[in-house]
């Protein structure tokens, strides 16, 4: 990399000779930057549209150059832009020029996205040329939203931990005393009431435990995990309970090892919960199918059932806390599963339709055998 400088030895002639080279360097720099550059003249005609602008808006350069800027702007945005250009030409008062702002704009395919935009103006031969510099803010906004979410969850986790601690101890005492009294009860009415107390305290203890798991998960033990071996173990553990409900589990996956980096106990918890949900959804029996599919850098595991399915209104909320299709469910199982999968840098998705069963798809990144933690030797290279 080099920089052209005007020093004491830089003559006017030399400076003039280097002007074409400066122009080429500047054009190449703007052409290859990550920001989108769009330049128009006073008539709103597009004169410059770099590669980043093609990627941002979804238009090819030859579709845009020489055309009116309206082509890539919404009608409302175009009207405001025309007024701003006209106002500057008449007053030379740079209201927004030199300042960055945020707005929502559209790609060629209609997709809308947040963007940062700043304007500059060049005066050449008594004509004004306007350049907009744009940057897609989708990833930045998503990261900020995730950070805020993590902060809220951390704060909520601390509150939940304190509340569960305060409630759990007296709840255990109530349950214990109720069990003692139930053993000594002399009439059926008292025995039934005490049985209800025992059952409800047990349910509340489980709910508190699930709340703590959701909002205060604690440490995790990440190691290489063979996902096929884990699924086989989960199916083996689930078989007896499913057989009682006249539910069979079919596996459609290979026997070769597929390694992911994860906490085996937590992942086992996820798949046990999914099979349990599917089994409970099929009150008249049916089939659960567990499949696996490899992509270049991940494995997708699908747990499908033949149950009644989930309505379209509920499917998007299925992984939210306290949302459930069960009569006596807490609505925390899938929310906990989602958090565990995301802790493994994975994704979880539900597909369903009423009367057509439900599919839960989990995608987990494959173990990178080349990483220093998993390689006996690791060579670093500088480029």
pLDDT tens per residue, range 277-292? 999 988 888 999 999 9
The segment with the largest mean pLDDT, out of 111-125, 189-203, 236-250, is 236-250
How far is Cα 330 from Cα 203, in angstroms, rounded to an integer?
Answer: 9
pLDDT value of residue 4 = 41
> Which of 78, 45, 73, 43 is CA-nearest to residue 59?
73
How far is Cα 194 from Cα 240, in angstroms, rounded to an integer?
Answer: 31
Write down the mean pLDDT value for the chain: 81
Last residue of a domain, one of 136, 153, 174: 136
β-pairing, 247-252 with 286-294? parallel
The segment with the largest mean pLDDT, out of 30-44, 70-84, 325-339, is 30-44
Answer yes or no: do 108 and 69 share one domain: yes
Last residue of a domain, one of 215, 240, 257: 215
Last residue of a domain, one of 158, 189, 215: 215
Instruction: Give 214: exposed, middle or buried? Use CB within 10 Å, 0-12, 13-18, 19+.
Output: buried
Answer yes or no: do 356 and 227 share one domain: yes
Evaluate whether residue 91 is within a structural domain: yes
pLDDT category, 259, cuts 50, 70, 90?
very high
State the DSSP code for 216: -
Answer yes or no: do 129 and 162 share one domain: no
The segment with the largest mean pLDDT, out of 79-88, 256-265, 328-337, is 256-265
Residue with tokens 């980096």: 261
Buried b (16+ CB within 10 A) or exposed e, 348-357: bbbebeeeeb
Locate 68 and state its tokens. 């009116």
- pTM score of the predicted model: 0.52
β-pairing, 127-136 with 259-262? unpaired
Residue with tokens 């002007």: 19
Evaluate whether residue 269 is within a structural domain: yes
pLDDT over threshold 60, residue 354: yes
Between these two residues, 176 and 267, which has the higher pLDDT value? 267
Answer yes or no: do 48 and 121 share one domain: yes
pLDDT category, 233, cuts 50, 70, 90?
very high
Answer yes or no: do 119 and 41 share one domain: yes
Q: Could you give the number of structural domains in the chain?
A: 3
CATH of the domain at 106: 3.30.450.20
Per the CB < 8 A criterion, the answer to whether 136 and 113 are in contact is: yes
- Residues in contact with 124: Cβ distance below 8 Å, sequence separation at least 6, in sequence order: none
Answer yes or no: do 68 and 193 share one domain: no
Taking residue 269's Cβ as centre, other Cβ atoms within 10 Å add up to 17
Element (DSSP H or E) covering residue 38: strand 36-40
- pLDDT above 70 covers a percentage of the chain that reads 83
pLDDT category, 268, cuts 50, 70, 90?
very high
pLDDT value of residue 148 = 78
Q: How far is CA 80 from CA 37, 76, 96, 126, 230, in A?
A: 19, 6, 12, 24, 59
Evaluate whether residue 95 is within a structural domain: yes
Structural domain span for residue 268? 223-365
pLDDT value of residue 341 = 93
């Amino acid at each position: 990399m080099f920089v052209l400088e005007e020093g004491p030895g830089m003559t006017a002639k030399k400076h003039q000779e280097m002007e074409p080279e400066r122009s080429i360097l500047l054009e190449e720099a703007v052409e290859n930057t990550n920001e989108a550059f769009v330049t128009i003249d006073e008539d709103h005609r597009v004169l410059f549209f770099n590669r980043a602008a093609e990627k941002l808006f979804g238009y090819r350069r030859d579709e845009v150059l020489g055309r009116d800027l309206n082509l890539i702007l919404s009608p409302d945005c175009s009207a405001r832009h025309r007024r701003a250009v006209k106002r500057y030409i008449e007053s030379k008062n740079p209201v927004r020029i030199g300042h960055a702002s945020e707005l929502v704009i559209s790609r060629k395919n209609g997709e809308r996205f947040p963007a940062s935009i700043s304007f500059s103006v060049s005066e050449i031969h008594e004509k004004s040329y306007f350049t907009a510099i744009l940057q897609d803010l989708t990833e930045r906004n998503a990261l900020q939203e995730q950070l805020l979410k993590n902060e809220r969850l951390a704060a909520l986790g601390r509150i939940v931990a304190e509340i569960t601690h305060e409630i759990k101890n007296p709840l255990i005492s109530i349950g214990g005393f109720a069990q003692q009294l139930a053993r000594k009860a002399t009439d059926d009415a008292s025995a039934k009431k005490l049985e209800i107390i025992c059952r409800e305290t047990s349910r509340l203890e489980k709910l508190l435990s699930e709340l703590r798991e959701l909002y205060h998960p604690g440490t995790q033990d990440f190691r290489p995990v063979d996902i096929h071996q884990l699924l086989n173990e989960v199916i083996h553990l689930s078989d007896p309970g499913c057989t009682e409900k006249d539910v069979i589990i079919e596996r459609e996956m290979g026997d070769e090892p597929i390694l992911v980096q994860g906490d085996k106990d937590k992942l086992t918890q996820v798949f046990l919960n999914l099979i349990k949900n599917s089994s409970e959804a099929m009150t008249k029996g049916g089939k659960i199918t567990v499949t696996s599919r490899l992509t270049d850098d991940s494995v997708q595991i699908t747990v499908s059932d033949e149950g009644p399915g989930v309505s379209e209104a509920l499917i998007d909320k299925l992984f939210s806390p306290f949302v459930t299709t069960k009569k006596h469910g807490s609505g925390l199982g899938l929310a906990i599963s989602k958090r565990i999968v995301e802790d493994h840098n994975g994704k979880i998705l539900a597909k369903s339709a009423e009367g057509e069963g439900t599919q839960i798809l989990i995608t987990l990144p494959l173990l990178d055998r080349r990483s220093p933690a998993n390689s006996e030797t690791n060579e670093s290279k500088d480029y």
